[in-house]
Amino acid sequence: MKLKVGLLGGGSWGTTVASLTAKNADVTIWARSEETVNEINEHHTNHKYLPGATLHKGLKASTSFEEVVGNADVLIMGVPSQHFRQVLLDAKPHIRPWIPIVSLAKGLELGTKMRMTQIIQEELPGHPAGVLTGPNLAKEIHSGKAAAAVIAMVDDVIAKELQDIFNSGVFRVYRNTDVIGCELGGALKNIMAIATGMGDGANAGDNTRAALITRGLSELTRLGTAMGGKRRTFAGLAGMGDLVATCSSSKSRNHHVGFQLGKGKSLDEIIEEMNEVAEGVKTAKAVMELSKEYDVPMPISEQVYNILYEGSSVYDAFKGLIQMESGSEAEPG
């Protein structure tokens, strides 16, 4: 028998994962919008977030938490990090005991600075919590282009079972037991994507982009390992892989935010024009708090934060980075 999967969140990535897993499982997706739900059920499309894409015909949709998660063997959380806790709490009365809960979000909760699996463990103790992450641009994957991801759970036996749900043709899914490293890699790289986007928007050049990506990897690895992640994780799909994809692609929401900032637009203007959430904008606040808490210098993240929240210009940021004294490559800066 096919496993029953409930997925909460009808954005581009949530819908893509739901459509992919519908090849291997009985999947029902929850969306807040009745219009979106009707479109998925009647036309097998979600034009708002995946224009031109046709979804798997077996995928069902509902606005009812009970209908989506009441009989689910696995719950997938495809909602942005700042809404993650509330949606989980709304669904909680209908979630069966002990089922695995997998996060797709790549961010940190403001205020608590918590990872999504920590929120799961706090609100639903006893449920195995994991994350599906990696260099995954939704529109490319839905169009059938090859991609790889990683499912991270402390219990590798459960991860192996979930691996079979997510694996789908040219979408290859690997396993990792380093949940902390995989989650932090996904969250921290969004800030670097904003930085490289700013460089691209300001026409800083390919050399600048390469330097930002490389030094960005060093920066996120420093904080990630200080917080308990394993160094090798940041050299893998959840770290370097996701960083390269997000920092190099115009399809990346965080790169888009940075690009428009580099072109001179204000953050408010950019957010107003976007359909979906760029996680790095909010995560930048949490990361600067963590940088201080763990005493880990993060110069690129700091400059991004200054542009987003302190009124600095893109020119000020690049000037600040260039003026930093350069030492050993293993050191900050």
Residue with tokens 């990506």: 213
CB-CB contact of 279 with 254 (8 Å): yes
Sequence-ordered strand ranges (E) for 98-180: 101-103, 129-133, 147-153, 171-176
Average pLDDT of the segment spanning 204-212: 91
What pLDDT is attached to residue 142? 84
Predicted confidence band of residue 319 (pLDDT cuts 50, 70, 90): confident
Average pLDDT of the segment spanning 133-157: 93
Q: Which of 83-87, 179-183, 309-313 has the lowest mean pLDDT?
A: 309-313
Selecting among 48, 189, 285, 319, the annotated active-site residue is: 189
Could you tell me the residue ranges of all domains in the chain? 4-177, 181-323
Euclidean distance between CA atoms 61 and 46, whole angstroms = 11
Q: Which of 8-12, 213-217, 230-234, 326-330 has the lowest mean pLDDT?
A: 326-330
What pLDDT is attached to residue 138? 87
How high does pLDDT run on average in the chain? 93
To 10 degrees, the CA torsion angle through 15, 16, 19, 25? -100
What pLDDT is attached to residue 43? 97
Euclidean distance between CA atoms 124 and 89, whole angstroms = 9
- DSSP character string of 65-121: HHHHHTT-SEEEE-S-HHHHHHHHHHHGGGPPTT--EEE---S--TTT---HHHHHH
Average pLDDT of the segment spanning 301-327: 81
Q: Is 71 part of any known ligand binding site?
A: no
In whole angstroms, what separates CA 256 from the centre of its chain? Answer: 15
Average pLDDT of the segment spanning 175-202: 96
Q: Is 32 part of any known ligand binding site?
A: yes
Please tell me which residue, 317 or 33, carries the higher pLDDT value: 33
What pLDDT is attached to residue 315? 83
Backbone phi, psi, residue 166, to 5°: -85, -30
Predicted confidence band of residue 123 (pLDDT cuts 50, 70, 90): very high
Euclidean distance between CA atoms 198 and 222, whole angstroms = 23
Does position 325 have pLDDT exceeding 60, yes or no? no
Average pLDDT of the segment spanning 41-70: 96
State yes or no: is 160 an active-site residue.
Answer: no
CB-CB contact of 229 with 253 (8 Å): no
Predicted confidence band of residue 143 (pLDDT cuts 50, 70, 90): confident
What pLDDT is attached to residue 45? 97
CA distances from 108 to 180, 213, 299 (A): 12, 21, 19
Euclidean distance between CA atoms 219 and 299, whole angstroms = 8
Average pLDDT of the segment spanning 118-134: 97
Average pLDDT of the segment spanning 134-163: 93
What would you report as the CA-atom Rg of the chain, rounded to the nearest whole angstrom? 19
Euclidean distance between CA atoms 18 and 5, whole angstroms = 9
Does position 88 have pLDDT exceeding 60, yes or no? yes
Q: Is 42 part of any known ligand binding site?
A: no
Predicted confidence band of residue 96 (pLDDT cuts 50, 70, 90): very high
What pLDDT is attached to residue 155? 95
Does position 329 have pLDDT exceeding 60, yes or no? yes
Q: Is 106 part of any known ligand binding site?
A: yes
Q: Is 92 part of any known ligand binding site?
A: no
Q: State whether CATH 1.10.1040.10 applies to domain 181-323.
A: yes
Q: Is 253 part of any known ligand binding site?
A: yes
Does position 324 have pLDDT exceeding 70, yes or no? no
Predicted confidence band of residue 89 (pLDDT cuts 50, 70, 90): very high
Does position 293 have pLDDT exceeding 90, yes or no? yes
What pLDDT is attached to residue 277? 83
What pLDDT is attached to residue 322? 66
What pLDDT is attached to residue 150? 97
Q: Which CATH architecture has domain 4-177?
A: 3-Layer(aba) Sandwich (3.40)
Residue 7, H or E segment: strand 4-8
Average pLDDT of the segment spanning 244-273: 93
Predicted confidence band of residue 321 (pLDDT cuts 50, 70, 90): confident
